[in-house]
């Protein structure tokens, strides 16, 4: 209600990105929206409600807490938990028909045990370790996994068979990724020989969908591209040879805005803020913006970041504080208190992009977006 900044999420930009993603897939391929990390900073519940209204009804999260939020907002949506489900959350997941990734024997045994106790099937996706070396059953363990599943067939539903690629966005990882693709193909052969038939075979994330389309299967799990970002510039170049600046294929959903809190005249030679990192080179007028690193605006943007005011770039002067930053508006006429400040997004003909933050702060798009605090209000716009 009284927040110092706000985020808007564009529905039309999302529809544009959905249309593009679906064109990359064959008919009958189901789209699963990856919304872990607070929907990549876009706000979990506002985002999934918007997506659901646009025909998306399958969501992947990392935690049971995220799944609970979605199911509370959209009881009919299908949800996969790709990460942790301990005993209390396992019982909740089974009761609410939430799907879970199973990637070790302890989790498989817990899922089966809880299903027996509740007398209800657990919906599982078997994850195979093919080279990411994070989670997943080793290929030599799959016969035993399949045996457990078949022995408890009345208490589990095999929804998916999956793996995750390590670096599909970059050619430098090509050998490793192709080895993973080959190993997953071998795992699928073993699955077929076992007689088990999951509903989905899936391994394609955003980068794999674009760079290794043979991985698409009958389901794709798409995160960063639905929000309007390429996994990296190399993926964009491999797709159409264009530089990031000329790309109009995907559209960013998110804009971040604040207001001028106060104006501060300073004299030539004065220092600004903490320490002595910025000294005024002339008489200047600063605008103080009530956003700092506590609100997700990186401290590494001190003396390097920019905002937009009246359609002009205003550079940050001094260190980004916990709750505020100062920008030079000496060159911008008639700036006053409460004027709009664009931290990310467009104003007139200028743009401050998330990518520009990455260039100035060494943050990945993913990192900057997911660090945006939960309590900044998110509003859906057309």
Query: Within a domain: residue 71?
Result: yes
* Residue 297 annotated among the catalytic residues of the structure: no
Give the chain's largest Cα–Cα span.
79
Whether 186 and 312 map to the same domain: the answer is no
User: 288 and 151, same structural domain?
Assistant: no
48 membership: H or E segment, kind and range: helix 44-53
CB 39 within 8 Å of CB 254? no
Question: Where does a domain end: 246, 264, 297?
Answer: 246
Q: What angle do CA 24, 47, 215 make, to 5 degrees?
A: 25
Q: Give the integer Cα–Cα distance in Å for 14 and 26.
A: 20
**pLDDT score of 365:** 75
The whole-number pLDDT of residue 272 equals 96
Q: How many domains does the chain have?
A: 2
**Residue 376 is assigned to a structural domain of this protein:** no
150 and 205 assigned to the same domain: yes
Report the pLDDT value the prediction gives residue 244, as an integer from 0 to 100. Answer: 54
Specify the DSSP class assigned to residue 158.
E
DSSP codes of every residue in 242-256: --GGG--SS---EEE
Q: What is the pLDDT along the chain (382 residues), one digit of tens a residue?
A: 789 999 999 999 999 999 999 999 989 999 999 999 999 999 999 999 999 999 999 999 999 999 999 999 999 999 999 999 999 999 999 999 999 999 999 999 999 999 999 999 999 999 999 999 999 999 999 999 999 999 999 999 999 999 999 999 999 999 999 999 999 999 999 999 999 999 999 999 999 999 999 999 999 999 999 999 999 888 988 888 755 555 679 999 999 999 999 999 999 999 999 999 999 999 999 999 999 999 989 898 999 999 999 999 999 999 999 999 999 999 999 999 999 999 999 999 899 988 766 555 556 678 888 889 999 999 999 9
CATH number of the domain encompassing residue 193? 3.20.20.10
- Full residue range of the structural domain in which residue 152 is found: 11-246
Same domain as 330, residue 194: no
53 with 201, same domain?
A: yes
| 361 within some domain | no
The domain that holds 318 is classified in CATH as: 2.40.37.10
3-state secondary structure of 177: helix
What are the tens digits of pLDDT across the range 65-75?
999 999 999 99
Q: Is 322 annotated as a binding residue?
A: yes
> Looking at residue 288, what is its pLDDT?
98
Nearest C-alpha neighbor of 34 from the set 236, 212, 251, 209: 209
User: Tens digit of pLDDT for each residue in 23-58?
Assistant: 999 899 999 999 999 999 999 999 999 999 999 999
Is residue 299 marked as binding?
A: no
Q: Is residue 301 part of a domain?
A: yes
In the set 186, 197, 268, 274, the catalytic residue is 274
Asked if residue 362 belongs to a domain, the reply is: no
The answer to whether residue 257 is catalytic is no
Together in a domain, 232 and 327: no
State how far the Cα of 191 lies from the Cα of 198, in Å rounded to an integer. Answer: 9
Whether residues 233 and 272 fall in one domain: no
Length of the chain: 382
CA angle 275, 278, 279 (to 5 degrees): 105
Check residue 2 and give its pLDDT. Answer: 87
- State the catalytic residue, choosing from 36, 71, 107, 306: 36
Q: Are the beta carbons of 14 and 380 closer than 8 angstroms?
A: no
């Amino acid at each position: 209600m009284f927040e110092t900044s706000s985020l808007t999420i564009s529905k039309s930009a999302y529809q544009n990105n959905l249309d593009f993603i679906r064109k990359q897939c064959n008919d009958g391929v189901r789209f699963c929206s990856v919304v872990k990390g607070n929907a990549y900073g876009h706000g979990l519940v506002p985002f999934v409600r918007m997506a659901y209204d646009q025909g998306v009804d399958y969501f992947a999260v990392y935690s049971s807490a995220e799944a609970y939020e979605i199911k509370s907002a959209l009881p009919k949506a299908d949800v996969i938990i790709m990460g942790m489900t301990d005993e209390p959350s396992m019982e909740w997941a089974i009761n609410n028909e939430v799907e879970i990734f199973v990637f070790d024997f302890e989790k498989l045994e817990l899922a089966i045990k809880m299903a027996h106790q509740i007398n209800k099937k657990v919906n599982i996706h078997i994850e195979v370790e093919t080279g990411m070396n994070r989670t997943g059953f080793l290929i030599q363990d799959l016969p035993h996994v399949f045996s457990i599943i078949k022995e408890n067939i009345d208490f589990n539903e095999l929804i998916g068979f999956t793996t995750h690629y390590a670096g599909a966005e970059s050619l430098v990882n090509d050998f490793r990724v192709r080895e993973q693709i080959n190993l997953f193909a071998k795992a699928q052969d073993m699955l077929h020989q076992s007689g088990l038939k999951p509903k989905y075979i899936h391994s394609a994330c955003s980068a794999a969908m674009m760079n290794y389309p043979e991985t698409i299967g009958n389901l794709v799990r798409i995160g960063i591209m639905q929000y309007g970002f390429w996994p990296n510039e190399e993926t964009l170049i491999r797709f159409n040879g264009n530089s990031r600046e000329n790309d109009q294929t995907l559209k960013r959903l998110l804009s971040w805005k604040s207001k001028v809190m106060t104006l501060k005249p300073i004299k030539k030679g004065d220092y600004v803020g903490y320490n002595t990192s910025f000294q005024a080179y002339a008489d200047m007028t600063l605008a103080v913006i009530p956003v700092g690193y506590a609100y997700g605006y990186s401290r590494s943007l001190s003396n390097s970041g920019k905002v937009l005011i009246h359609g002009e770039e205003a550079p940050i002067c001094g260190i980004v504080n916990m709750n505020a930053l100062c920008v030079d508006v000496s060159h911008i006429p008639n700036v006053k208190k409460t004027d709009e400040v664009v931290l990310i997004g467009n104003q007139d003909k200028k743009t401050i992009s998330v990518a520009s933050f990455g260039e100035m702060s060494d943050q990945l798009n993913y990192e900057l977006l997911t660090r945006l605090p939960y309590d900044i209000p998110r509003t859906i716009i057309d």
